[in-house]
Amino acid sequence: MSVRTGLVVAALWLAVAPLRAAVPEPPLRDIPGGTFIVGSDRAEREIAYALDERGYGHDVTRQQRWYESEGERRTVRLPAFRITATPISNADYGRYIAATGHPAPDVDRATWQDYGLVHPYARTRRFAWRDGRPPMGREDHPVVLVSHADATDYANWLSRETGQRWRLPTADEWEKAARGDDGRYFPWGNDFDPARLNSHDAGPFDTMPVGSFPAGASPYGVLDVAGQVFEWTATPAGAHRHVVKGGSWDDKGCGVCRAAAGHGRPDQIKHILIGFRLVREP
């Protein structure tokens, strides 16, 4: 490269750098490389069912075998990675909407009813955006009503804007970030504590500002990985489906809030219980 060409490249970089810096990166937590325990065993699943029975007063999750698809407890090795400390917030996502004109989070009545979910359509309205803006007072809540493609598109946009590579975590990456390397059931240990997360056991039956439960942090300081919202991952769960992890604000028990728990959801669904966080590659 000639000196003249080098100066031109440098000038172009300096012109672009301020634009990239204008998009703040979400706070990150470092997850070290190495082995960790993933999945669950019979004893853990029985504890999860018992928690649900105590919370709900019935054994539906046991009868429907909610936790039988969890992989058996085993050791997995992963390289080091960085993951956002909390789910992506409405404020984070709002910068993407403003910059790209991507459709804002919402769902129409007919589509919602086609999902066949237990939540009435009226409940979605407090999460729906208006005129490209999140609901007032919810800027720091996790974004919901986003499909798997919406989450992926946001990651691609953030990659372009920051010059870093952002993507959804795999289910294994998400699980390590949530439980550490020792196979604990919840981010804080094996005993369920409703004061450490946003679930229907003690929460407001709604989303809350991200990071509201510092006592519920994982060993790596990752927040909101139990309760609050389920989170999209990059791991497929059949045709046009991906795994979601974490439990949500409307769950009780909370067996589904364990790090090992997870289930598949259709990629196109825009749910009031599902948001996402991202991994930033080196």
> In terms of pTM, does the model score above 0.75?
yes
CA–CA distances in Å: residue 205 to residues 152, 197, 200, 208: 27, 12, 6, 9
Taking the CB of residue 143, how many other CB atoms lie within 10 A of it? 30
Distance of CA 7 to the CA centre of its chain: 43
CA–CA distances in Å: residue 184 to residues 15, 22, 68, 165, 243: 48, 39, 18, 30, 20
Two structure tokens written together for 205 = 């039956």
| pLDDT at site 7 | 37
Residue among 68, 24, 64 at smallest CA distance from 166: 24
Two structure tokens written together for 189 = 């240990």
pLDDT tens, per residue, the chain with 282 residues: 443 433 333 333 333 334 444 789 999 999 999 999 999 999 999 999 999 999 999 999 999 999 999 999 999 999 999 999 999 999 999 999 999 999 999 999 999 999 999 999 999 999 999 999 999 999 999 999 999 999 999 999 999 999 999 999 999 999 999 999 999 999 999 999 999 999 999 999 999 999 999 999 999 999 999 999 999 999 999 999 999 999 999 999 999 999 999 999 999 999 999 999 999 998
Two structure tokens written together for 195 = 């004061």
Note the helical H segments in 184-258: none
Residue with tokens 């795999």: 170
Task: Output phi, psi for 210, to 5 deg.
Answer: -60, 145
Domain boundaries, the chain: 24-280
Query: What is the C-alpha radius of gyration for the chain, rounded to an integer number of angstroms?
Result: 20
| pLDDT at site 261 | 98
Note the helical H segments in 101-169: 109-115, 121-124, 148-162
| pLDDT at site 9 | 34
| pLDDT at site 282 | 84
CATH architecture of 24-280: Alpha-Beta Complex (3.90)
Q: Does residue 144 sit in helix, strand or coil?
A: coil
* φ/ψ bin of 270: left (φ > 0), alpha (ψ from -120 to 50), beta (otherwise): beta
